[in-house]
Structure 1
Amino acid sequence: MGEATYTPKNILITGAAGFIASHVTNKLMRNYPHYEIVVLDKLDYCSNLKNLLPLKSSKNFKFVKGDIGSADLVNYLLITEGINTIMHFVVQTHVDNSFGNSIEFTKNNIYGTHVLLEACKVIGTVHRFIHVSTDEVYGETEADAIVGNHEAS
């Protein structure tokens, strides 16, 4: 499938019970009711399932409680749901929390992303991968910067 013919159809949204991702998911469902949305979230400390309540009865919405670190689960979802787009919002946040449990942060923020990317490569059906994250992953912008971090910074 060439880029010119790409159309989002079956979208996997990771971490959609989180604050920002839940707003994006709700907006997508309202504005694009023909999209099939599959949410994968392990419902960690920064998640709230109530954020997705407006979508509960939608026929084109599915919630899966699970961890992106599970390659078997991710591969299964990509295949069975025919996923062609991933919006990856999973990230553990709050820098202070990372000091006490840095292994968990690395596991979720780096290893989980790696599992998703590897599944995309192996399965071959994902044509768009959008990674949304925070300064815990991307780093901070200098206070006097006119524009935020450039994507290559």
Structure 2
Amino acid sequence: MAAYTQKNILITGAARFIASHVANRLVSNYPGYKIVVLDKLDYCSNLKKLLPSGSSPNFKFVKGDIGSANLVNYLLITESIDTIMHFAAQTHVDNSFGNSFEFTKNNIYGTHVILEACKVTGQVKRFIHVSTDEVYGETDDNAIVGDCEPS
């Protein structure tokens, strides 16, 4: 794969704890990058977490759902997105027991929408998926953590 330099980064779920820190750090440390953040502002989001970036010229906030294929495709094309950092997901296992369909819609279908948009537009060079055990599952106590695939 040819090397590239990211210029236009989409961060999903950016009004949440970890993603907001990543977005704020990228905005302040890399003024040459355009940082577009997408969040639907649900129960675990807080727009105040993005206040440090709000007035920066390389920052754009979009309120919307990763489950909207039209919105995701539109953002990838109009913002010339070349990198996605996908943090958006429903969390808190106890909440999933009462509303498992909503978790599936957000965590699986939403990720599928983003991946399909990457395929359709053909312009995203790097996709980074950051999530929790609600998405990935738990690790066995004796599991080897890290890159375990053979070289």
Aligned residue pairs total: 149
Letter in 1 for 2:40: K
Q: Say whether 1:71 aligns with 2:78.
A: no
Q: What TM-score comes out, normalization by structure 1 length? A: 0.93
Counterpart among 80, 83, 86 of residue 85 in structure 1: 83
Q: What TM-score comes out, normalization by structure 2 length? A: 0.94
Q: Secondary structure at the match of 1:34?
A: coil
Deviation at 1:26, TM superposition (A): 0.9
Contact 1:69 1:108 in 2 (8 A): yes
For structure 1, the residue ranges without an aligned partner over 5 or more in a row are none
RMSD: 1.4
Q: Partner residue of 1:138?
A: 136
CA–CA distance in 2 between the matches of 1:90 and 1:150?
23
Deviation at 1:143, TM superposition (A): 2.9
Percent identity (aligned): 78
For structure 2, the residue ranges without an aligned partner over 5 or more in a row are none
Matches within 5 A, 1:110-149: 110-145=108-143, 147-148=144-145
Letter in 1 for 2:27: M
CA–CA distance in 2 between the matches of 1:17 and 1:24?
10
CA–CA distance in 2 between the matches of 1:61 and 1:72?
21
